[in-house]
Structure 1
Amino acid sequence: TFLDRFVLIFLDDILIYSRTREEHEEHLRQVLQCLREQRLYGNLEKCAFFQTEVQYLGHVISGEGIAVDPSKIRAIMDWPAPTSVTE
């Protein structure tokens, strides 16, 4: 299985990660072959190939590591301050 080796899946989102372009091409080929065998197909317009940084489930993932998506932090920072104890 590819899960947790080079593939993360959440509902209908599939993230394939690799250290090199060559490795990524092989991982991509394996995953697409598996999907094809199961008669599962993706929407090419929603695909992004060979990305060095991606936003995935509220995180930014890159070769540098995983960080919280800055837009999520900004949304929290922009919350209005409470005006009473019950808020």
Structure 2
Amino acid sequence: ISRTASRHGRKIPLLPKEFQLLEYLARNEGRVVSRAMLLRHVWDLHFDPSTNIIDVYVGRLRRKVDDQQAYPLIHTIRGIGYCLRAPG
């Protein structure tokens, strides 16, 4: 409800769309989420293969969430999409 994110007790300031993206990835933790699924569920758009909006937002989110952390949470699954995975 508060729309806040933190990692190891450090608050992560996120823009609304970045938060929606993180929330969708977190709700699907451990599952591969395709680019089409992200466009549909986060941006309410149908698949557009020419857009790089997902790359831009995932890049921003990675810098904020994985910054100075030993283990990255957001993983690229080449040719398919993204996956949020916590360590072991």
TM-score clears 0.5: no
Q: What is the TM-score of this pair, normalised by structure 2?
A: 0.35
Return the structure number with greater relative CO, CA threshold 8 A, min gap 6. Answer: 2
Structure with higher Rg: it is: 1
Write 1 or 2 for the structure with the bigger share of helix. Answer: 2
Q: What is the TM-score of this pair, normalised by structure 1?
A: 0.35
